[in-house]
Amino acid sequence: MANQIAKPATGKLGIMVVGLGAVSTTFITGVLMARKGLAKPVGSTTQYDKIRVGRGADKKYLKVNEIVSMPSLNDIEFAAWDVYPANAYESAINAEVLKEKDINPVKDELLAIKPLKAGFDKNYAKRLDGDNVKDVKTRWEMAEAIREDIRNFKAEKGVERIVVLWAASTEIYVAPNMAVHGTLAALEQAMKDNDTANIAPSMCYAYAALMEDAPFVMGAPNTTVDIPAMWELAEKKQLPIAGKDFKTGQTLVKSGFAPIIGTRMLGLNGWFSTNILGNRDGLVLDEPANFRTKEVSKLSTLESILVAEKQPDLYTDYYHKVRINYYPPRNDNKEGWDNIDIFGWMGYPMQIKINFLCRDSILAAPLCLDLCLLIDLAHRAGRWGTQRFLSFFLKSPQHDYTQDEVPVNHLFQQYVMLKNAIREMGGYEADEEID
């Protein structure tokens, strides 16, 4: 995990997105509209935030691109893979997130983004039925075909650097199996042996990206780069990786609200979270094996913020439940309900109820932009391996569970990590501490 001042962001940045559904078309359309001056990239840290650098008389607040060299939105080229053959314009219309009037001004650019054939295995997303898929016999062939796509895109578009972002569906849960996932050699052998039970299609994308000098971001809760074999590959190739799962609605609320309970020294009896959503993500998560992957990522947040060992009187044996319900009428307009049972002075009970009517893709789109720009920044700064400073944007931050590392899930601690990393990569002192 070397660190130095980031090299300048010269040339074009290619962003290759896995999945051309609601999230990615909202992201791509928003970037194209923003660079025409027809929309604002609201919600994006890299485009709006100001970070303090220096102290005392030297103190100033600068935008991210004033601290470090960043590509402008004009410097981005897009490509995508998807199991459905619809181009980005058709997909954006079909997703029904954005109004047609907010898509049409960039219609020609969206029409030109035709999805590459996806590396896909229906066993990993049984509810999806697309036929725009690669005809390959093994996982190794799948990875090789994706590598070829990356090389072709780089040559055709003349981009200097590439980031690969997973914004596709949640796969069925793949538990880390050290016999397969423990070393790079074992992983490569399993791909060649076509071990479909242990090698998810997403792992082929991550492997291909890293082999082609492209940082990889996992935006779903898949365990893709959450395995020692991928950490070994990232180290070998000196490339940054990040994951997992975009922190959009309910977990954003949880990681920001749980610190209120913890800092006020209030007790917790239970936290019940339920969601309804009706987009393609909801359809896939209606399958129990796919929901299991999501549940693991959503459950981990609270337990690392309100910790029984630190405050046994307050956080021993609280009940935490998460539910996701597929409800087609709601489409992308997700609704998250939280019922929180707390207790205060002398153990007297109180309740908090939060109802977040959010738009999943509207919250995810700026995260896609920030994650791609910041992992590219990390690459230019010579950082490699898991980028913990990006946990601010992620629901279930990657961590080294083989060493019993506990991830930071506290939103405001994550924000300190983010600011410190940007300061360092801009040549300033990382001067905030996490208590």
State pLDDT tens for residues 307-366: 999 999 999 999 999 998 989 998 888 899 999 999 999 999 999 999 999 999 999 999
Parallel, antiparallel or unpaired: strands 216-218 and 161-166? parallel
Q: How is residue 168 annotated by DSSP? A: S
pLDDT per position as a tens digit, 188-238: 999 999 999 999 999 999 999 999 999 999 999 999 999 999 999 999 999
pLDDT of residue 178: 96
- Model-level pTM? 0.94
The whole-number average pLDDT for the span 413-427 is 97
Which is more confident, 177 or 283? 177
- The position carrying tokens 């209030």 is 266
In this model, does residue 274 exceed pLDDT 80?
yes
pLDDT of residue 36: 97
Whats the size of the chain, residue-wise? 435
pLDDT per position as a tens digit, 26-67: 999 999 999 999 999 999 999 999 999 999 999 999 999 999
pLDDT per position as a tens digit, 56-65: 999 999 999 9
User: One-letter amino acid identity for 200?
Assistant: A
pLDDT of residue 301: 82
Percent of the chain with pLDDT over 90: 86
Chain Cα centroid distance, residue 153: 22
Distance (Å, whole) CA 105 – CA 36: 9
Q: Which of 263, 408, 257 is nearest to 339 (CA)?
A: 257
pLDDT of residue 250: 86
pLDDT of residue 4: 85
The whole-number average pLDDT for the span 79-83 is 98
- The position carrying tokens 């779903």 is 220
Query: Any residues with CB less than 8 A from the CB of 264 and at least 6 apart, and which?
Result: none
Distance (Å, whole) CA 402 – CA 399: 9
The whole-number average pLDDT for the span 273-301 is 76
Mean pLDDT of the chain: 94
Q: How is residue 8 annotated by DSSP? A: P
Distance (Å, whole) CA 413 – CA 391: 10
In this model, does residue 286 exceed pLDDT 90?
no
The whole-number average pLDDT for the span 134-141 is 98
pLDDT per position as a tens digit, 154-194: 999 999 999 999 999 999 999 999 999 999 999 999 999 99
Distance (Å, whole) CA 218 – CA 306: 26
The whole-number average pLDDT for the span 134-142 is 98
pLDDT of residue 54: 95
In this model, does residue 1 exceed pLDDT 70?
no
In this model, does residue 297 exceed pLDDT 70?
no
pLDDT of residue 289: 75
pLDDT of residue 281: 72
Contact yes or no for 294/221 (Cβ under 8 A)? yes
The whole-number average pLDDT for the span 78-85 is 98
Q: How is residue 220 annotated by DSSP? A: S
> Could you tell me the domains of the chain?
13-246+361-425 (3.40.50.720), 250-357 (3.30.360.10)
pLDDT of residue 283: 76
The whole-number average pLDDT for the span 72-101 is 97
pLDDT of residue 2: 56
